Amino acid sequence: MKGTIVLIASVAIVASIPAVAAESTSNKDIDASRARSATVSSRPANTADNEKACRAYAASFYESVTRRQTATYANGGRALALLDSVISAFNDLLATKCAG
């Protein structure tokens, strides 16, 4: 009896993951990530604020990767492509402005 209940609960959880992922990774979220990427990358380089900027780049990078991971469950090919471009942009910023 317990095994059956656990099996049914597991199936329900696994079945609900794509719906939750699709809901949490909307086009609005992706557009916000892209806008943040453009805003952050257009900031002038100031050595006094370099550490703060690098932390902002890293936080945005992490957020974008987390959104991409969520989007994989929703099978959104367009969403994945857009998030990949945002992740790549933040990765480039981290490499060029925060290396060392």
pLDDT tens-place string over residues 46-81: 666 788 888 888 888 888 888 888 877 776 677 788
pLDDT tier at 94, thresholds 50, 70, 90:
confident
State which residues form the domain around 33.
Answer: 2-97
Q: Note the pTM of the prediction, 2 decimals.
A: 0.53
Q: How far is CA 9 from CA 4, 17, 63, in A?
A: 9, 13, 29
Mean pLDDT of the region 84-98: 85
Q: Residue 41, class by beta-carbon neighbours within 10 Å (0-12 exposed, 13-18 middle, 19+ buried)?
A: middle
Q: Output the six-digit token pair for 90.
A: 């933040």
User: Residue 7 has what pLDDT?
Assistant: 43
Q: What single letter denotes the amino acid at residue 23?
A: E
pLDDT of 35: 62
Number of domains in the chain: 1
Q: Where are the alpha helices (DSSP H) in the chain?
A: 2-24, 27-41, 50-74, 77-97
Task: Please check whether residue 94 is in contact with residue 61, taking contact to mean a CB–CB distance below 8 angstroms.
Answer: yes
What does the pLDDT look like over 22-32, one tens digit per residue?
Answer: 555 555 666 66
